[in-house]
Structures are given as structure tokens and as C-alpha cells.
Amino acid sequence: MEGINLNKTITFLYASLRYFSEGEKHVTRVCNEDVLLLVFDGILRFVEDDVEYEVYPGTYHIQKHGSRQRGIIPSDSPQYLYVHFLADWSDERRGTLPKQGTFDYQALKLLMEDIDTMSHGDYTICECSAKFFELLSRLYRKRAIPTMAGKIADYIEKNYIDGLTLEKLAEEFHFSKNHVINIFKQEYGMTPFEYINCLRVKKAEWMLEATSCTSETIALECGFNNYSHFFKVFRAITGISPTKWREKKRITPSCFISGEWR
């Protein structure tokens, strides 16, 4: 599942609504930017790196930077929003917005119009970027037809602190434990148990940085039975101990000298 990595820096460039005339073809080019296309009427046709695409109303497509795009046959008078940006690409399941997908036009209509208006108006890149990031987030979070693995992930995210086990997942979704593992790993690249530990460690990282709670307290708050297990899992995932993590995040800035900011 190739797509843009939402955990890496994304740079908004510009955006606009586009309305094709009857018989108009997609431009032929090699674009050095990524382009998000959200079609809400008609059909947009083009060839990207020798692969033919038709983008229908309610679907989006992301053209990858450096790809060769050609308009060989006319499109069917499409109307769409396009956004030029720069991003890293990834084939990881988690944190990746797929190259193609669906969207609810009525739910996103005002946001799409705002992005177009702001891109052509007296707005800062920061303001336009905020709207674009909202759009990406809503596309990523939308699950019109959730997969079973996605449903399991949602359940884990809501219950990972409460002593969640593989047995409970199997009981909740009426599958064998092996089947739960297989369908989840196929989509997320890890077992449900590994996913639970990743979520617990992510919460622990935040608590270590943002609070003064002891590591023992944090271990219990994040769903671990004891500090020893927490320490082992945390170091396996991050490469350092919880104490070292906290020290790393709380290094005194160089501009703070002898009790004064310099």
C-alpha cells in the first residue's frame, strides 16, 4: 500500500479548483511535485508511468513527484480540487495515506472550497497548510468500508490500557487467536500484541516527557503489569531505558546558564 507518509514533513505549495472543458485532456508532463486530486464530478483520465487511471467522483488520487503523466484520451469534463505539495512516500500501513481512496464530497466540500479560496487569497502558507493538513487528516481517518484489521486496530486503540489480551480480541471478534493474528499482521505488519506494546510505549514516552510521575507509576498507567516488563518492552522498542529517555528529553538548553536565560 504505497502512499504519502503522514509522519514525515509535508510541504504545502498551492491548490486550486479545476473544471475541464468538454473533450479536454490531462496535461502531459513530468511533475517534480506530489499532486492530490479530489474529483467530485465527471471522470479524470490520465496515464501515470505507463499505468492508465480513471478517477471517478468521490475518489482521490495522489500523483507521485517525478512521475510521467500523459493525457492520451479526453477526460469526461471532470471537476476537482488539486493540491501541489512535497512529501515522503512509504509502503507502511500505519501512518500512510494511500495513493488512491474514496472521500465524502459533501462532508469535505466546504473545506475544499476554503483551500481553493485561501490559496488564491491573501493568506499565509501557514494558514493554507493548516487547512491542507486538516484535509489529509480527514482523508486518513475516514473509513467508509473499514477492514476487519482496521476494526481490530480501532478496538485496540480504545482498550489497550485495560489489560487487553489476544484471548479478549478473539472473543470480541469471534475468531480464533491465530486468525486474529494473521489478518492483523497482513495489514499492519505486526501482531496485535506488538501493536498494543507500541501504543503503550508511545503513551509512556509522552508521560516521561510531560509529567514528573515515576517510571513505576507510568508503567501501570500505560497498561503494564509491572516495571520490569515495562522496562524490557520500552528498551526493545526505543533502544534506551525509560530513565535515559526522560533525561534525553529534558536536557537543559544551552541558552540557560546559571539560572538565567542568555
CATH classification of the domain holding 197: 1.10.10.60
Residues 177, 47 share a domain: no
Residues 126, 8 share a domain: yes
Closest of 84, 80, 70 to residue 4, by C-alpha: 84
- As for how many domains the chain has, the answer is 2
Residues 104, 55 share a domain: yes
Q: Which of 141, 163, 196 is the last residue of a domain?
A: 141
Residues 245, 220 share a domain: yes
Closest of 82, 66, 73 to residue 115, by C-alpha: 82
Residues 187, 58 share a domain: no
Q: Which of 141, 173, 199 is the last residue of a domain?
A: 141
Cα–Cα distance, 229 to 179 (Å, whole number) = 26
Residue with cell 480513471: 54
Residues 134, 153 share a domain: no
Residues 185, 136 share a domain: no
Which residue type, as a one-letter code, is found at position 42?
Answer: G
Which residue type, as a one-letter code, is found at position 185?
Answer: K
Q: Which of 120, 141, 162 is the last residue of a domain?
A: 141
Residue with cell 479526453: 74
The pLDDT score that the predictor gives to residue 39 is 97
Q: Grid coordinates representing 34?
A: 506530489
Residues 104, 170 share a domain: no
pLDDT along the chain (262 residues), means of 10: 89 96 94 96 95 94 95 95 96 84 91 96 95 94 70 89 90 93 87 93 92 93 93 94 88 49 44
Residues 137, 42 share a domain: yes
CB-count exposure of residue 5 (10 Å: 0-12, 13-18, 19+)? middle
Residues 152, 129 share a domain: no
Contact between 103 and 60 (Cβ < 8 Å): yes
Contacts 24+ apart (CB under 8 A), 202-207: 203/161, 204/230, 204/234, 204/242, 205/238, 205/245
User: Could you list the residue range(s) of the whole structural domain that residue 192 is in?
Assistant: 148-249
Residues 58, 88 share a domain: yes
The pLDDT score that the predictor gives to residue 137 is 93
The pLDDT score that the predictor gives to residue 46 is 96
Residue 261 within a domain:
no
Contacts 24+ apart (CB under 8 A), 107-112: 107/138, 108/38, 108/135, 108/138, 109/40, 111/135, 111/138, 112/17, 112/38, 112/40, 112/81
Q: Which residues contact 10 (CB under 8 A, 6 or more apart)?
A: 4, 85, 86, 87, 133, 136
pTM over 0.85? The answer is no
The pLDDT score that the predictor gives to residue 145 is 54
Residue 114 within a domain:
yes
The pLDDT score that the predictor gives to residue 2 is 85
Residue with cell 524490557: 232
